[in-house]
Amino acid sequence: MVTQALQERAGAVTFKGEPKTLVGPELRVGEALPNFTLVGADLQPVTPQGITENGKSAALLIVVPSLDTSVCSLESKTFNGRIGDLPSGVVAYVVSRDLPFAQARWAKEQGDVRLRFLSDYLDHSFGRATGLEIKELGLLARAVIVVGKDGKVRYLQLVREVAQEPNYDEALAAARNAV
């Protein structure tokens, strides 16, 4: 079996000021979302086609390192509080490497959570396919991705300093425009 080396982008992000390496090809606006498999709350596989509900919905992917950190928790709470700003044709997901059980625990602790959760814990294919895996930490970089019904990336915000929040207004405007 031949194993192909994954592309690495040294210094693509920082974590608390320290440069970190992202693994995988750089995701670009206009390209189709690459193939990967995430795990849903029901422990079933979710592919890019599932994220767009087989072309019926656009998707807002809120990618965070871990819901067990203050910035990721705050970001997810903020997006959840603003989910009403989105049209019905957009589905919002939080994607992390947290186990689905931890994601469900976080949602239960928050109360009224309308976000959906997907985990990249099993085979790490999402992080590597989208170029969002932080090599040194084994976590996902902070990013927001908007995917159109056609499965193409319409918007990408890679937060260069992982410990900072994204631009919510810009991300939500992009999601509104994706339908």
Among all residues, which ones are annotated catalytic? Answer: 72
Distance CA 25, CA 34 (A): 10
Angle at 132 between CA 89 and CA 124, to 5 degrees: 90
Residue 111 DSSP label: S
The structure tokens listed for 74 are: 């705050």
Check the CA dihedral 65-163-92-84 and report its sign: positive
Taking Cα atoms as reference points, which of 113, 122, 70 lies closest to residue 94?
Answer: 113
